[in-house]
Amino acid sequence: MWKFFHQWASPPHFYRLAKVLIPWLAVPGLLLIAYGTYAGLFLASPDYQQGDAFRIIYVHVPSAYLSMMAYVFMAVGGGIGLIWRLKLAHAVGAAAAPLGAAFTFLALLTGSIWGRPMWGTWWEWGDPRLTSELILLFLYFGYMALRSSIDDTAKADKASAVLALVGVINVVIVHFSVVWWSSLHQGQTLFKKGGPGMDADMLYPLLAMILGFTFVFGALLARRLRTEVLYRERRTRWVRELVLTPGGGR
Amino acid sequence: MDALAMGNYGAYVWSCFALTLIVIVFSDWRARVRHNQVYRDIEVRIKALEEQE
């Protein structure tokens, strides 16, 4: 089992595997997003309180979920990299950080746009969900700045892994902020006790969007990971052979 | 027109979907550009080494 895992995670094997995986993740992801967008915008009934403004959740919720998931990837990758010294694990963190930052930015922006007509304000500093999500964005920036400030890849991997592991506490805070504190942000809807608090015609497009965003995130991560692996392995024999092969392995 | 108006929330709803599209397309484009850049740099370096040898 352990041998299989190491073989799977070996850079040359993963580099080729990721190329095959990308279309298998991207195509279903885009199809799910297309369905979720159409059904969310045109088929779902307007919310009885928020009217059509509620449709923003179809991009806001998946972005917010990915903003946390990408950070968990970084932390798990960092932990595995520190403990088992798996080369690919640190690369996962490095590749996931810009994507996580992009989706966190998107979650903050769409949340702010939704807040203007619903709360009457673009931003509320006292709100724990908003503030902890903003801290998450700064953690991503800090992680990327730390990596780029250290020339030695091994040292950058260790330092950024520690930051990812410490910062994962904030992901827990983001997730439970609406439960622990009084917040303007609405409480848990999908995972609350007694099942999701939404009608089926609203719920299914949202689930399709969450799944679609996850697949697209997987495709983007695989693409970024290939680059990260290639860069880290640039002085190895397999990369030399790959580049010198007619047709190459781009 | 009703679909565009979104009950007078059209500007908010459509701008969110447009921003999402921009972020996803930009992330993919940036990843492709970076990959091609890294691959080309490695290719140039290795071919230069081959010629030296």
Q: Specify the 3-state DSSP secondary structure of A90.
A: helix
In a domain, B1, yes or no: no
Q: Are A204 and A39 in contact (CB under 8 A)?
A: yes
Burial A133-157 (b: 16+ CB within 10 A, else e): beebbebbeebbebbeeeeeeeebb
For residue A186, is pLDDT > 80?
no
Take residue A59 and report the two structure tokens written for it. 């991009």
* Residue A232 contacts B, CB cutoff 8 Å: no
Q: At which residue do the structure tokens 């990369």 appear?
A: A239
Asked if A53's CB is within 8 angstroms of B39's CB, the reply is no
Tell me the per-residue pLDDT of A214-234, one tens digit each, with 9 for 90 and over.
Answer: 999 999 999 999 999 999 999
- The SS3 assignment for A207 reads helix
Interface of A with B in 91-130 (CB under 8 A): 98-99, 102-103, 105-106, 109-110, 113-114, 116-117
Instruction: Tell me: pLDDT of A157 over 70.
Output: yes
Percent of chain B at pLDDT > 90 equals 72
Q: What is the pLDDT of residue A220?
A: 98
CA distance linking residue A75 with residue A125, whole number of Å: 27
Residues in contact with A164: Cβ distance below 8 Å, sequence separation at least 6, in sequence order: A71, A74, A75, A77, A78, A93, A143
Nearest to B35 among A60, A103, A227 (CB): A227
Put simply, whether B19 touches A (Cβ < 8 Å) is yes
Q: Which residues of A touch B32 (CB under 8 A)?
A: 223
**Interface residue B4 vs chain A (CB under 8 A):** no
Residue A74 predicted with pLDDT over 80: yes
Q: Is residue B8 part of a domain?
A: no
Give strand pairing partners of A68: none
Distance in angstroms (rounded) separating the CA atoms of residues A200 and A213: 20
- How many CA atoms lie within 13 Å of A205's alpha carbon, on the beta-carbon side? 22
Q: Is residue B13 part of a domain?
A: no
The pLDDT of A132-153, averaged and rounded, is: 96
Specify the pLDDT at position A126.
81
Q: Is the pLDDT of residue A103 over 80?
A: yes
CB contact under 8 Å between B6 and A55, yes or no, is yes
Mean pLDDT value across residues B32-53: 91
Q: Is residue B39 part of a domain?
A: yes
* pLDDT for res B51: 84
Residue A243 contacts residue B52 (beta carbons within 8 Å) = no
ipTM over 0.90: yes
Chain A: nearest CA to B53, how far in angstroms? 14
Q: How many residues make up chain B in this entry?
A: 53
Summarize the confidence of residues A197-224 as an average pLDDT: 94
Residue A215 contacts B where some CB pair is shorter than 8 Å: no
Q: Is the pTM of this model over 0.80?
A: yes
How far apart (Å, rounded) are the C-alpha atoms in residues A62 and A208? 10
Look at residue A36 and give its three-state secondary structure.
Answer: helix
Q: How many residues does chain A have?
A: 250
8 Å CB contact of B38 and A220: no
Q: Cβ contacts (< 8 Å) between A46 and chain B: which residues?
A: 7
Does residue B41 form part of some domain?
yes
Asked whether residue B44 is domain-assigned, the answer is yes
**B2 has pLDDT over 80:** no
Task: Tell me if B27 and A37 make a contact (CB, 8 A cut-off).
Answer: no
Cβ pairs bridging A and B (under 8 Å): 98
Containing domain of residue B45, as a range? Answer: 22-53
Q: Quick check: helix, strand or coil at residue A48?
A: coil
The amino acid occupying position A144 is: M
- Residues A62, A42: Cα–Cα separation, whole Å: 19
pLDDT in tens, B17-39: 999 999 999 999 999 999 999 99
pLDDT at site A4: 66
**b/e sequence A87-105, b meaning 16+ C-beta within 10 Å:** bbbbbbbbbbbbbbbbbbb
Residue B40 located in a structural domain: yes
Taking the Cβ of residue B52 and every Cβ of chain A, the question of whether any pair is shorter than 8 Å is answered with no
Q: How near does any CA of chain B get to the CA of A187, in Å?
A: 21
Higher pLDDT, A133 or B47: A133
Both tokens assigned to A204 = 């299914």
Write out chain B residues lying below 8 Å of A116, CB-based: 12
What DSSP string describes A218-246? HHHHHHHHHHHHHHHTTTSHHHHHHHHST
> What total number of domains does chain B contain?
1
B42 touches A121 (CB < 8 A): no
Q: Which residue of B has its CA nearest to A116?
A: B12
Looking at residue A247, its pLDDT comes to: 72
User: pLDDT-derived band of residue A110, with 50, 70 and 90 as boundaries?
Assistant: very high
Residue A195 reports pLDDT greater than 80: no
Query: Residue A174 in contact with residue A72, Cβ under 8 Å?
Result: no
Task: Tell if the CB–CB gap between B31 and A109 is shorter than 8 Å.
Answer: no
* Domain membership flag for residue B4: no
pLDDT at A196: 72
